[in-house]
Amino acid sequence: MARVCEICGKRTQKGNSVETRGKAKYLGGVGTKITGITRRDFKPNLQRVRITTANGTNKRIRVCTQCLRSGAVTRVVRRKPFNLNDAVKSG
């Protein structure tokens, strides 16, 4: 199972880890110098969540947090949410 969001396709990206030393000029130093550059991975923040599909079935998929926050998926409702109107009518 790859580290990929099943909604938007976001996956691991490559980048650089930049190592510096020295004191910044605005702090009174002579400036920072780059002492090493190595490759690194930027991994997406994936969560395994249970969602309700379009045809009404429940399924467990890996989704990035941006898709969760944007509402791209609808999570499974485990129980009916509390409704104040129903409580007032019955009580």
Write out pLDDT tens, residues 9-68. Answer: 999 999 999 999 999 999 999 999 999 999 999 999 999 999 988 888 899 999 999 999
pLDDT of residue 91: 59
Residues whose CB is less than 8 angstroms from the CB of residue 31 and which lie 6 or more positions away in sequence, other chains included = 22, 23, 24, 25
> How many helices (H) does the chain have, and how many strands (E)?
2, 4
Per-residue model confidence (pLDDT) at position 90: 65
Please tell me the predicted confidence (pLDDT) of residue 87. 64
pLDDT value at position 1?
A: 60
Q: Taking the complete model, does pTM exceed 0.85, yes or no?
A: no
- Of 40, 34, 47, nearest to 7 by C-alpha is 47
Cα 66 from Cα 62, distance rounded (Å): 12
The confidence score (pLDDT) of residue 65 equals 95
